[in-house]
Copies of this chain bind each other. A is one copy, B any other.
Amino acid sequence: MKQSLSIVKIGGHILDNSEAKRSFLSQFSVMDGLKLLVHGGGKSATALSQKMQLEVQMVDGRRITDAKTLEVITMVYSGQINTSIVAQLQALGCNAVGCSGADANSIQSVKRPVLDVDYGFVGDVQNVNSDYISLLLSADLTPVFSAITHNKKGQLLNTNADTIAASLAKSLADIFEVTLYYCFEKQGVLKDIDLASTLIKTIDKSLYTELLASGVISDGMLPKLQNSFDALEHQVSRVCIGQPSMLSGNSNNHTTLTL
């Protein structure tokens, strides 16, 4: 029987709030079994860009990552946020190890091809080296991934943290029984994004198709759901979307996705 592994993606809004961040890390640290954390960046990268008087360029809500922006993102994601999360988890008794996708070539990406928009130094995940991650997990260590990958030619690449979490989940599902948690500030997938009472507790593939057609799913949620169903179709056992309280396993106040 495969050992179970929880892969948790934590969203930027929670990391931006030091109280919410502390509470999340404390819940994460007491989760039973093997676990792995993936984090993005939140507002810190934008704040530092502004301090450094770099212009933040967005197209359709997506950041354009030029060379200077990549430097800021790498400093904030892999330096400030990742290292401090690891130190906080260590203080909580969780044996964390900070990782970027460049470490042991664990997540190799390719620079996104330029079509209508040149997103700059943005990576699309190409390959996960699960050997290295398994080595850490087998030693009872908890990998903490920032959303920075590389192309194995010396170039770092800014990479979507939701996609990293799903890619790790798919790749590790060969070896472990994987549950993927998308943790953020909302209760889960909501019919009305402003009303917690409109939580959809279970979404299967046919409901997903309906929701897509009816336009209920908001822009930010779309790639999360795409990633989730992709993961489920690649042997990932379970995907849950909701607030950090779902990590305790006692709550059913979140969205569970099934095929």
Q: Does A189 contact B (CB under 8 A)?
A: no
Number of chain copies forming the complex: 2
B88, A100: Cβ atoms under 8 Å?
no
| Distance of A84 Cα from B71 Cα, bound (Å) | 10
Taken residue by residue from 102 to 146, chain A's Cβ proximity to chain B (1 for < 8 Å, 0 otherwise) reads as: 111100000000000000000000000000100100010100000
Q: Does A154 contact B (CB under 8 A)?
A: yes
Q: Does A28 contact B (CB under 8 A)?
A: no
Taken residue by residue from 162 to 176, chain A's Cβ proximity to chain B (1 for < 8 Å, 0 otherwise) reads as: 000000000000000
When distances are taken between beta carbons in the complex, the residues of chain B under 8 Å from A78 are: 78-79, 82-83, 98
Q: Does A155 contact B (CB under 8 A)?
A: yes
Select A97's contact among B82, B84, B103, beta carbons within 8 Å: B103
> What's the minimum C-beta distance from A46 to chain B, rounded to whole angstroms?
14
| Distance of A135 Cα from B97 Cα, bound (Å) | 13
**With contacts A98-B100, A105-B95, A135-B139 known, is A154 near B74, CB below 8 A?**
no
**With contacts A79-B78, A80-B79, A135-B135 known, is A98 near B102, CB below 8 A?**
yes
> What's the minimum C-beta distance from A183 to chain B, rounded to whole angstroms?
21
Complex A-B: 21 CB contacts under 8 Å: A52-B52, A71-B80, A78-B82, A78-B83, A79-B79, A83-B100, A83-B156, A86-B100, A86-B150, A87-B154, A88-B154, A90-B152, A91-B154, A95-B105, A96-B102, A97-B104, A97-B132, A98-B102, A98-B103, A132-B139, A135-B139
> What's the minimum C-beta distance from A168 to chain B, rounded to whole angstroms?
16
Q: Does A153 contact B (CB under 8 A)?
A: yes
A102, B86: Cβ atoms under 8 Å?
yes
When distances are taken between beta carbons in the complex, the residues of chain B under 8 Å from A90 are: 102, 105, 150, 152, 154
| Distance of A49 Cα from B231 Cα, bound (Å) | 42
Q: Does A178 contact B (CB under 8 A)?
A: no
When distances are taken between beta carbons in the complex, the residues of chain B under 8 Å from A100 are: 83, 86, 98
| Distance of A78 Cα from B99 Cα, bound (Å) | 11
| Distance of A99 Cα from B100 Cα, bound (Å) | 10
> What's the minimum C-beta distance from A83 to chain B, rounded to whole angstroms?
5
> What's the minimum C-beta distance from A60 to chain B, rounded to whole angstroms?
27
When distances are taken between beta carbons in the complex, the residues of chain B under 8 Å from A102 are: 83, 86-87, 90, 96, 98
